[in-house]
């Protein structure tokens, strides 16, 4: 902690000296174009054991190895500029060599969003960032500002970042070579597609101090049985948390008839949900599992769903939502 504090003070002193050295202040200049500006508080990227400043969790490794676990093998040029075979330092926050499928935006690929870009850079910044991408880190800057780190505010306007659910550029569906990279800024995806590989939380993408599913921007549609509830939904014990055996009285109405697990296909699993609802626990809304539309979920509905699942040319007709 002492070392980090001393480093932060040294960085702060350097910033003050830099400000005094220039008679003209350029408000749109980049305070930290490279990782070296971040290292004062976060440490060297490829040495030591990183401890999160957000929740105090140790990564058990350094930042480089941790990020490699996300991105996969052969991804060095996702963050590094210039290309392999030439000096790989400094690491620019907004410019990299890029690889197939990954735009050359370096750190901003996961810590920025294209929706926040303003396209405003001062002359010369194209050597460290594509001018069109300026502003992508608005959420990250606002997060730091709310944490009391004001250095960036000396040179940046935070703007109004897009919501927590806006995906960074690198959060696209992974291929087999990069199967562990995050795809969901709201931490609602199946593992390993979430941001919180290390620690309790993912990222505060929009800088409002609220993470992941706690952020109202991350309200998602419910799938009965998957444990995720939509905004305003209640289950039969009166709370908004689904548990096995509970009946979702809202949100489930939006699911497809005969597909209570919201997989997009009617399968034997859906028939099991209907059967459970018919004989014991209500885990399926009538608007999803009452496929003969008689007002209740019964074993006959489960049988019809099963026949549909195994290839029967049945038409399933659920009641309309109330």
Model confidence band, residue 156 (pLDDT cutoffs 50, 70, 90): low
Quote the pLDDT of residue 12.
Answer: 40
Distance in Å from the first CA to the final CA of the chain: 58
- pLDDT of 130 > 70? The answer is yes
Domain boundaries, the chain: 1-216, 219-322
Q: Report, as an integer, the average pLDDT of 33-55.
A: 86
- pLDDT of 212 > 60? The answer is yes
Model confidence band, residue 165 (pLDDT cutoffs 50, 70, 90): confident
Q: Report, as an integer, the average pLDDT of 275-297.
A: 80
Angle between helices 268-279 and 299-309 (to 10 degrees): 180
Q: Quick one: what percent of the chain has pLDDT higher than 70?
A: 69
Quote the pLDDT of residue 315.
Answer: 87
How buried is 95 (Cβ within 10 angstroms: 0-12 exposed, 13-18 middle, 19+ buried)? buried
- pLDDT of 291 > 60? The answer is yes
Residues 126, 141 contacting (CB under 8 angstroms): no
Q: Quick one: what percent of the chain has pLDDT higher than 90?
A: 13
Backbone angles phi, psi at 304, to 5 degrees: -65, -40
- pLDDT of 230 > 50? The answer is no
Quote the pLDDT of residue 85.
Answer: 63
- pLDDT of 91 > 60? The answer is yes
**By mean pLDDT, which of 94-103, 109-118, 144-153 is the weakest?**
144-153
Could you tell me the pTM of the whole model? 0.60
The total of other beta-carbon atoms located within 10 Å of residue 45's CB is: 20
Residues 251, 242 contacting (CB under 8 angstroms): no
């Amino acid at each position: 902690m002492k070392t980090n504090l001393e480093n932060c003070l040294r960085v702060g002193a350097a910033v003050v000296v830099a400000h005094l050295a220039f008679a003209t202040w350029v408000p749109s200049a980049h305070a930290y174009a490279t990782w070296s500006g971040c290292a004062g508080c976060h440490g060297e990227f490829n040495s030591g054991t990183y401890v999160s400043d957000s929740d105090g969790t140790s990564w058990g490794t350094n930042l480089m190895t941790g990020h490699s676990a996300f991105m996969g093998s052969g991804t060095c040029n996702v963050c590094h500029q210039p290309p392999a075979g030439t000096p790989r330092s400094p690491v620019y926050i907004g410019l990299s060599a890029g690889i197939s499928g990954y735009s050359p935006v370096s750190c901003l690929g996961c810590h920025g969003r294209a929706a926040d870009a303003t396209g405003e850079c001062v002359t010369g910044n194209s050597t460290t960032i594509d001018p069109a991408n300026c502003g992508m880190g608005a959420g990250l800057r606002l997060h730091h500002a709310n944490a009391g780190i004001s250095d960036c505010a000396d040179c940046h306007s935070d703007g109004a970042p897009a919501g927590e659910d806006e995906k960074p550029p690198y959060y696209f569906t992974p291929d087999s070579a990069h199967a562990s990279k995050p795809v969901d800024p709201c931490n609602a995806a199946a593992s390993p597609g979430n941001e919180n590989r290390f620690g309790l939380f993912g990222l505060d993408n929009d800088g409002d101090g609220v993470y992941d599913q706690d952020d109202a921007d991350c309200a998602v549609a419910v799938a009965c049985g998957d444990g995720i509830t939509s905004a305003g939904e209640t289950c039969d014990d009166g709370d908004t948390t689904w548990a096995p055996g509970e009946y979702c009285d809202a949100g489930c109405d939006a699911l497809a008839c005969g597909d209570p697990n919201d997989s997009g296909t009617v399968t034997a699993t859906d028939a099991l949900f209907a059967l459970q609802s018919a004989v014991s626990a209500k885990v399926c809304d009538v608007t999803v599992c009452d496929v003969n539309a008689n007002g209740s979920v019964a074993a006959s509905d489960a049988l019809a769903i099963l026949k549909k699942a195994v290839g029967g040319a049945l038409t399933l007709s659920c009641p309309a939502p109330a």
